[in-house]
Amino acid sequence: MADRPIPLKYGARQAPAGAYIRAKDGREFLFGPGAGYDAAHVPPPPPTLAETFDEFDRLGRPENGALPVPPQSTPTAAFTRSAAAAALDTAALPVTLPARALRAAGVSGLDAVADLQADEAIQDATWLTTGEEAGDYRRRVAQERAEFPTASMAGAEFGASVGGLGVGGLAERGVALGITKVGERFKGKLYRAAADDYIGDTASFATTKAGARAYQDNPGFGGPNLYRTDIDVDESKVLDLRADSQGEQLDRLVEAAGVNHPGATTADREITQVAVYDALREKGYEWVRLYDTFPEGQESWTYIGGGVEPELQGLTFDDAAGALGVKPTTAVRGEAHEKQKKYSK
């Protein structure tokens, strides 16, 4: 009697080994304390890091039915992003400012702390949250700032004030510029995106890694590789063209070089003309400092020759993230894929 199954209603019957469930096609499945029961209740393995990142990508792609992620930019978004970046940068000043000053004085090993940038942290957080790639993010933010300049500037002012300093205070301390003035010399780090480490007749640099990264996917300019260089130059060797308008910058360049006015162009383009940079070299200038047209309003330093040629050091990972013990998202994702390949062989 013990071996005899007990019929149950609704396609199921009880047996000593457990319960048999009858499917519509007539097949029976055993659920009980035996192997069948155990196999049916083994939880699925947790997703690997590679699978998790791939899911972020899949969810963020419109062709897979997802809504635009993140949503279209608005004045409110521009204000909020600028405020957050300025507030984070300002809040970090007690750490980053001394690190930059010590680095400018010749102390080594402080690059990771001195180069911390809120823009990069927000970019990585956006990538993790939405799956938006770095290049797409930078283009969207650049467009956002161009479309809503007032909201962006107001956000930066508000965020910096909340952090303890106004934008003017940051600029006076050289923080917003990325270059520190020590006595009569400019010292600090500059960044460049290029195809290789070759320095031509003119070579432009950004004052932040975020600024240089914009040129990693700017067709016709820059390049895929990111480089850093140290500068230590006398202020008399630097021609400062910075002004409130592109037209005023161009006028200052033409006057300094002593050449004819070229008409409708901009200083960042005119500086690449042989007659212009040759004239400036003859007057003893080695660097030209101005506000670029891309990204609009970004400060750039252009090396025009003479003195010590910049020595480029390739950057293959995010130093700031490494200083905090956190690998950049791109590195984490690459390692995850490599591990997945190894274990799947």
Count CB atoms within 10 A of the CB of residue 38: 10
- pLDDT of the residue at 56: 59
Cα 141 to Cα 67: distance, rounded to the nearest angstrom: 18
Q: Which residue has the higher pLDDT, 109 or 72?
A: 109
The predicted structure's pLDDT at residue 152: 81
Q: How high is the pLDDT of residue 177?
A: 43
What's the angle, vertex CA 285, arms to CA 279 and CA 290, rounded to 5? Answer: 95
**What is the identity of the amino acid at 171?**
A
Q: What pLDDT does residue 267 have?
A: 94
Backbone dihedral angles phi then psi of residue 303, each to the nearest 5 degrees: -85, 125
Closest CA to 253 of 266, 241, 242: 241
**Cα-Cα-Cα-Cα dihedral sign, residues 61, 65, 67, 68:** positive
pLDDT per residue as tens digits for the range 111-145: 777 777 788 888 878 777 777 777 778 888 888 88
Q: H/E element holding 296?
A: strand 296-303
* b/e per residue 188-227 (b: at least 16 CB within 10 A): bbbbbbbeeeebeebbbbbbbbbbbbbbbbbeeebeebbb
Position 23 confidence tier, pLDDT thresholds 50, 70, 90: low
- Report d(CA 29, CA 284) in Å as an integer: 88
pLDDT at residue 234 greater than cutoff 90: yes
Longest CA–CA span in the chain (Å) reads 112
Question: Do the strands 238-240 and 225-234 form a parallel or antiparallel pair, or are they unpaired?
Answer: unpaired
pLDDT at 265: 92
Looking at mean pLDDT, say which of 7-11, 109-113, 224-228 comes out highest.
224-228
Distance CA 323, CA 113 (A): 6
Distance of CA 231 to the CA centre of its chain: 23
**How distant, in Å, are the alpha carbons of 249, 250, 256 from that of 261?**
12, 8, 11
Specify whether the CB–CB gap between 36 and 30 falls below 8 A: yes
Which residues, in sequence order, are CB contacts of 175 under 8 Å at separation 6+?
89, 93, 96, 97, 100
pLDDT confidence band for 46 (50 / 70 / 90): confident
pLDDT of residue 53: 62
At 306 the three-state DSSP class reads: coil
* pLDDT value of residue 253: 96
Whole-number Å distance between alpha carbons of 13 and 31: 11
pLDDT tens-digit readout, 60-104: 555 555 444 555 678 888 888 888 888 888 777 777 778 877 877
What pLDDT is stored for residue 167 in this prediction?
A: 43
pLDDT digits (tens, 9 = 90+) for 195-219: 888 998 999 999 877 788 888 877 7
CB count within 10 Å of CB 55 equals: 12
Can you tell me which residue has the tokens 């963020």? 60
pLDDT computed for residue 297 by the predictor:
81
Measured between alpha carbons, how far is 173 from 96 in angstroms, rounded to an integer?
Answer: 12
Distances (CA, A) of 260 to 202, 251, 253: 20, 10, 10
Mean of all residue pLDDT scores within the chain:
74
Q: What is the pLDDT of residues 288-340, one digit of tens each?
A: 999 998 887 888 999 999 888 999 988 754 443 443 344 444 444 444 445 44
Pick from 74, 70, 48: nearest CA to 59: 70
More confident residue, 149 or 238: 238
Give the pLDDT score at 43. Answer: 62
Q: Are 277 and 173 in contact (CB under 8 A)?
A: no
**How does residue 25 score in pLDDT terms, banded at 50, 70 and 90?**
low
Confidence at residue 237, expressed as pLDDT on a 0 to 100 scale: 96
Q: Considering the entire predicted model, what is its pTM?
A: 0.48
